[in-house]
Amino acid sequence: MSYTTRGWYLEDFQVGQEMDSPRRTITEADIVQFAGLSGDYNALHVDAEYARSTPFGERIAHGLLGLSVASGLAAQAGYLEGTVMAFTSLDWRFKRPILIGDTIGLTSTVSRVRPMPSQGGGLVTLQVTVLNQQEEVVQEGTWSLLMRSRAAGSPDAQP
């Protein structure tokens, strides 16, 4: 049995193209697990009493947890599955807090496609916007990804 990727190849991306992801609710367990994984036990994330005294009035998710979940949601959407070779750069802004119980999803818009035949593919630049359930922008920025090319002769590439 062989595995066939769902991911898009460099040739599938067109400037201006938009992709949406599934959505996911951020839970208290997500925050606790991320604190344990990252070692970031900032009271703003893990101490309910302290967090009540902040401008947010409650605990908020780590900004990097939001970014990590966004990356996972893009993977779940399928266009990166098995065809992304590297995440090469990122320019990211944290616009609003992500609260426990917020449901987030992302929209990605292709802003640049640059073939790099010597790398077996090319760079795809995405403008990424993470939205909460109220369609408020919570995070946004630019991701650059090295994507495989069909022309590079990938064994599972389909014409």
Which domains does the chain show, CATH number per domain?
10-152 (3.10.129.10)
Q: What is the pLDDT of residue 15?
A: 98
Supply the mean pLDDT for the chain.
94
Contact predicate 34/68, CB 8 Å = yes
Distance, in Å, from the CA atom of 77 to the CA atom of 23, rounded to the nearest integer, reads: 10
Those residues whose C-beta lies under 8 Å from the C-beta of residue 5, and which sit 6 or more positions away, are 81, 82, 83, 156
pLDDT digit string, tens, across residues 106-158? 999 999 999 999 999 999 999 999 999 999 999 999 999 999 999 875 555 44
pTM, 2 dp: 0.91
User: Taken in order 49, 50, 53, 55, is the CA torsion positive or negative?
Assistant: negative
First-residue to last-residue Cα distance in the chain: 20
pLDDT digit string, tens, across residues 38-62? 999 999 999 999 999 999 999 999 9
